[in-house]
Amino acid sequence: MSLIKALLFFLIVCTGVAAISFSVARTRWVQILLVFLINFLLLFSFDWEKWMASREVNISSAVLIGLIALAFFSFCSMIMLKVLRERTRPERKEPAYSQKSALITISRERDDREILRKYRVICDGIEIGRISYGSSAEFTISPGSHCLILKIDWCSSNEIHFDIDADRGLRFTCGSNLRGWRWLLVFYYALFARKRYLWLLQQGSSYRLALDKTNPDVPMDSATSLRTE
């Protein structure tokens, strides 16, 4: 029974910390800092002196236990925080294609170990979708000048600036720079080279989209699109 109470207390604390951080701050970094700060204050308010006397634990062991508890509570709180962000993320609606629109196709290679994680596709500072491991995704955008970048957590890819006309398409490929022995440098890339954690490459010049004759506002399958270099 005491174990169940402990688990319930743990879930309530982690959920409460995540909810407070999510409601107070909007940026991810501030939310993470609040998670650590609130958990630190909760652990600091604990009667460690009484606990050490009852358990006959010395100060160094108590400090180590406190740090482990802080890391564990903060990690679980951030999981709850991520769930809250995903739940409240507005659903993106694909804009209808027309002859005044353009199309970009992004293919993610199978050369990284982030198998279960998706890359966020950011166009002009706005997330337009996500791409899974080893898959391709198409996104409808407006003609003109754009800036494309991929993100995963606080890390990202290189930026690509491109111009695209109406009724045209562009292809991109992407992946992770942590291939082979470079996985030994994961902490370096995550902390000091976070803008090179992923790579993004444009494949050739734009091609003309072939429209379905039965419905001229809808592009045909990419395989049947007419490419004109």
Per residue in 25-72, pLDDT (tens digit) is 666 777 778 777 887 887 777 776 777 777 777 778 777 887 888 787
Considering the domain boundaries, does residue 229 fall inside one?
A: no
Residues 132 and 79 in one domain: no
Both structure tokens of 167: 């009724």
Considering the domain boundaries, does residue 94 fall inside one?
A: no
Structural domain boundaries enclosing 33: 2-88
Considering the domain boundaries, does residue 93 fall inside one?
A: no
Per-residue confidence (pLDDT) for residue 2, from 0 to 100 = 65
Both structure tokens of 177: 């720079």
Q: Count other C-beta atoms under 10 Å from residue 77's C-beta.
A: 26
58, exposed or middle or buried, with CB in 10 Å at 0-12, 13-18, 19+?
exposed
Number of domains in the chain: 2
- Model confidence at 99, pLDDT cuts 50, 70, 90, reads low
Last residue of a domain, one of 27, 61, 88: 88
Considering the domain boundaries, does residue 96 fall inside one?
A: no
Least confident of 6-15, 53-62, 107-116, 156-165: 6-15
Residues 69 and 153 in one domain: no
Considering the domain boundaries, does residue 97 fall inside one?
A: no
Residues 69 and 159 in one domain: no
Residues 83 and 189 in one domain: no
Per-residue confidence (pLDDT) for residue 87, from 0 to 100 = 62
Residues 23 and 73 in one domain: yes
Residues 133 and 70 in one domain: no
- Model confidence at 6, pLDDT cuts 50, 70, 90, reads low
Tell me the CA distances in angstroms from 26 to 31, 83, 165, one per residue in order. Answer: 7, 14, 35
